[in-house]
């Protein structure tokens, strides 16, 4: 019964801001009549905003949760949010979630003098902050759900590029939030960044995860040797294995999305896969078709505009290993088009080995990952089984 009340109140606000949505959702006349009875209540909410919401027994606290989940529905997505950006923003301002009751500033020290920017990307920035009670340093990624530069435009004022930009951003935000929630509760793999919690507001999502002070794999000053590289390969495969096991295709595996954390007990480095902004959950027999990823790490099938699956991460793993060995990407070019053309034709073969020999673990893995035909590319289970066998042989010999 309570859920019906919340749903009703959610529809009240939407009907007030955008009456056409009632028609689009095929709401019955009985519901519409009940909505009209609450007309005065909505007016007072519009006038006094959060104050009246709180005074009204906090009945409106989960409306945003309802709205966000419904926005994820394609029908409402198109008819409501993308039809009038101004109205969508106005609706979001009247909404409070349960998570908002837990004010992020009450938990973490967000004083400008005490935080440090440690990274940035397409969707937001990452800061090093401190938990007020434990004093533990953690990383906070601030994700912008919507491009605030577009919030004062109507649908008619948006260019086709802006419309697609809004849709893609919103879709990726939802994917990242769902994967982050899953990682908090379901996996404790040491090679995947540890996710603590997330706090959601109408326009932003704050993701809190562990701090890895040794930086990313690309910018680290650690001197590489064969033993260390082989260990990093094993850890990367272990992390990707867990992601694929749960149906998560990362789509942005690269050296800057791999962090290092020093284990103070044994003084060894632990690999941490981060950034699920382009990730997606798919079934094992499913394919994706979005052209996401960083160009040097994109597999041939993505460059060709074809559908792809988990094996795009395997190609990106091979490129990451290549960079660790040679300090550059295998497919270079003076322009993006030349790089793309080189990727389409590329395959790492025995003749391409310039460092080490064909029996070195990293060269074997690259030859299994950087296979142009994805159907012949090894999957992560095959890679994991092979690497574990190699490690077992080495330990027996020693």
pLDDT of 192 reads: 95
Query: What are the pLDDT digits (tens) for 77-123?
Result: 334 433 444 444 444 444 433 334 457 888 899 888 889 998 876 66
CA angle (382, 387, 389) in 5-degree steps? 95
Alpha-carbon distance of 331 to 343, in angstroms, equals: 6
Query: What are the pLDDT digits (tens) for 12-60?
Result: 444 444 444 444 444 445 444 544 444 444 444 444 444 443 433 333 3
pLDDT of 123 reads: 67
Alpha-carbon distance of 195 to 187, in angstroms, equals: 10
Percentage of the chain beyond pLDDT 90 is 40
Binning the chain into helix, strand and coil, the percentages to the nearest 5 are 50, 15, 35
| Span 163-178, average pLDDT | 77
- The dihedral over CA atoms of 299, 301, 305, 309, expressed in degrees to the nearest 10, equals -90
Query: What are the pLDDT digits (tens) for 151-170?
Result: 666 666 778 887 777 777 77
Is the entire prediction scored with pTM above 0.85? Answer: no
Better-scored residue on pLDDT, 80 or 387? 387
| Span 229-243, average pLDDT | 95
* Local structure of residue 77 (DSSP, 8 states): I
pLDDT of 372 reads: 96
Residue 334 pLDDT class (50, 70, 90 cuts): very high
pLDDT of 169 reads: 74
Better-scored residue on pLDDT, 100 or 375? 375
pLDDT of 397 reads: 52
Within 13 Å, how many C-alpha atoms sit on residue 361's CB side? 22
């Amino acid at each position: 019964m309570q859920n019906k009340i919340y749903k009703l109140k959610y529809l009240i606000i939407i009907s007030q801001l955008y009456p056409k949505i009632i028609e689009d959702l095929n709401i019955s006349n009985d519901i519409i009549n009940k909505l009209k009875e609450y007309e005065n209540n909505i007016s007072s909410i519009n006038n006094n905003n959060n104050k009246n919401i709180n005074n009204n027994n906090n009945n409106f606290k989960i409306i945003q949760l309802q709205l966000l989940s419904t926005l994820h529905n394609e029908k409402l997505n198109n008819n409501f949010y993308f039809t009038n950006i101004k109205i969508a923003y106005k609706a979001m301002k009247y909404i409070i979630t349960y998570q908002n009751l837990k004010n992020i500033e009450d938990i973490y020290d967000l004083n400008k003098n005490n935080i440090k920017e440690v990274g940035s990307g397409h969707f937001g920035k990452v800061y090093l902050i401190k938990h007020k009670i434990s004093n533990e340093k953690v990383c906070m990624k601030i994700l912008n759900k919507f491009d605030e530069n577009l919030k004062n435009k109507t649908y008619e004022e948006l260019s086709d590029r802006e419309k697609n930009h809004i849709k893609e951003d919103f879709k990726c935000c939802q994917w990242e939030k769902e994967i982050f929630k899953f990682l908090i509760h379901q996996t404790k793999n040491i090679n995947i960044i540890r996710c603590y919690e997330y706090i959601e507001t109408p326009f932003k999502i704050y993701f809190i995860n562990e701090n890895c002070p040794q930086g990313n794999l690309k910018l680290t000053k650690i001197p590489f040797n064969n033993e260390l590289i082989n260990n990093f390969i094993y850890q990367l495969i272990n992390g990707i294995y867990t992601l694929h096991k749960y149906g998560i295709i990362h789509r942005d595996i690269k050296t800057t999305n791999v962090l290092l954390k020093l284990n103070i007990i044994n003084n060894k480095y632990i690999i941490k896969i981060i950034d699920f902004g382009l990730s997606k959950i798919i079934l094992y027999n499913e394919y994706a078709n979005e052209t996401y990823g960083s160009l040097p790490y994109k597999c041939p099938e993505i460059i060709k505009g074809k559908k792809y699956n988990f094996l795009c991460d395997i190609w990106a793993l091979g490129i990451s290993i290549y960079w660790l060995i040679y300090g550059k990407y295998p497919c270079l070019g003076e322009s993006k088009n030349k790089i793309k053309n080189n990727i389409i034709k590329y395959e790492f073969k025995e003749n391409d080995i310039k460092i080490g020999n064909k029996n070195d673990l990293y060269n074997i893995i690259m030859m299994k990952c950087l296979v142009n035909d994805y159907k012949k590319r090894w999957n992560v289970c095959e890679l994991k089984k092979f690497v574990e066998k190699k490690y077992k042989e080495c330990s027996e010999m020693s």
